[in-house]
Amino acid sequence: MTQPASHDICAVGNAIVDVLAPCDPTFLEAQGLPPGSMQLVDADRSAALYAAMAAGVEASGGSAGNTVAGVGSLGGRAAYIGKVADDVLGQVFTHDIRAAGVVFDTPPLTGGVDKGLGTGRCMIHVTPNGQRTMCTFLGAANQLTVDDIDPALIEASAIVYLEGYLFDPAPARAAFEAAAAAAHAAGRKVAITLSDTFVVARWRAELLAFIERSADIVLANEAELAALFEHEDFDHAAARLAERVEVAGITRGAHGSVVVRGTERAVVAADPVDKVVDTTGAGDQYAAGLLLGLARALSLEEAGKLGSLAAAEVIAHWGPRPMTSLKALAEARGLKLR
């Protein structure tokens, strides 16, 4: 018999500190950055971009880290597994995620700074329409291995959430497999986010194999879904994903989201926002609401509405994590957790 979970969500991801700054499209062109893209850069390129950026803000981020921070803001019980270095940014990340009410006990990378592997950071260039273009130096985050997967923490979590960005390094992919195996052995669910079309393009066959073998829940946006199945028809691609997993949650920007479980389909409208300031973290916060709703056995529509509410809060300000209590916002809307 499966034991009651002490955590709603345990996320495994890249522990990253975000550096966000406004920019004009001409800046992206001058730097050779495709608008809306995410690319990995080395330490030298990261430093050069930092020097060229306008003044901005620094905030703890990382896709899955943002999600569990959102889970905490919604009043959920969250844990996180990710690698930082024993440096100032690592201390900042650790402080911030714990302050969000998230359990984070992954040991930092010893001697990482001396090896040029400081805590990861992501340069995020935001154009006036709120679109973000990301350049990520993974650093210590890229050093996550099977040894960092805490089986007891995995077994105590209703849903184990895997960040697609971590699919790039082979040791981290092995950690995914270990986390998924431990979760299923304990009767828990495994969720994965596709994270980015570039990730899908690099690892399409491997991602499909992992999804079919190990995933119960998949989160994606419309572009990632199309890339996964190499098909532009949304309904066709959504049906193919739904055939492979228990639950598929697909975001469609201003058009809201679709959540599918078998023959059940919930179409959820996007929450209105007076002004889109920065879309960084929108998908991460949608995942927070949707996954927490699923962990608490809410209906697909209720879970999707929690996701839409969380996404709307985060795109109305700078930074990838909530600045207002999502729990209070949800309660004001009559969206309550069981």
Q: pLDDT at position 219, please?
A: 98
Domains and CATH numbers, the chain: 7-15+63-86+141-332 (3.40.1190.20)
Tokens of 106: 């992954």
Q: pLDDT at position 310, please?
A: 98
Cβ atoms of 139 and 117 within 8 Å: the answer is yes
Mean pLDDT of 245-261: 96
Tokens of 299: 């209906």
**CA 308, CA 283: separation in Å to the nearest integer?**
9
Mean pLDDT of 295-316: 97
pLDDT tens digits for 138-184? 999 989 999 999 999 999 999 999 999 888 888 888 999 999 999 99
pLDDT band at 114 (very low <50, low <70, confident <90, very high): low
Q: Which of 171, 208, 221, 202 is nearest to 63 (CA)?
A: 221
pLDDT tens digits for 46-90? 889 988 998 887 888 899 999 999 999 999 999 999 999 999 889
Residue 277 has pLDDT above 80, yes or no: yes
Q: Which of 174, 168, 54, 180 is nearest to 120 (CA)?
A: 168
**CA 180, CA 166: separation in Å to the nearest integer?**
14
Residue 328 has pLDDT above 90, yes or no: yes
Question: What is the pTM (predicted TM-score) of this model?
Answer: 0.90
Q: pLDDT at position 112, please?
A: 66
Q: How far is CA 138 from the centre of its chain?
A: 15
Q: How far is CA 48 from CA 10, 84, 230, in A?
A: 35, 22, 35
Provide DSSP, 54-85.
PS-EEEE--HHHHHHHHHHHTT--EEEE---B
Range ranked top by mean pLDDT from 1-5, 245-249, 331-335: 245-249
β partners of residue 264:
261
The answer for residues whose C-beta is within 8 angstroms of residue 248's C-beta and 6 or more apart is: 217, 218, 219, 220, 238, 241, 242, 258, 259, 260, 261
Q: Which of 214, 197, 27, 57 is nearest to 122 (CA)?
A: 57
Q: pLDDT at position 1, please?
A: 52
The percent of residues in the chain predicted with pLDDT above 90, rounded, is 79
Q: pLDDT at position 244, please?
A: 96
pLDDT band at 113 (very low <50, low <70, confident <90, very high): low
Mean pLDDT of 251-262: 95
Please work out, in degrees rounded to the nearest 5, the angle formed at the alpha carbon of residue 175 by the alpha carbons of 67 and 1: 80
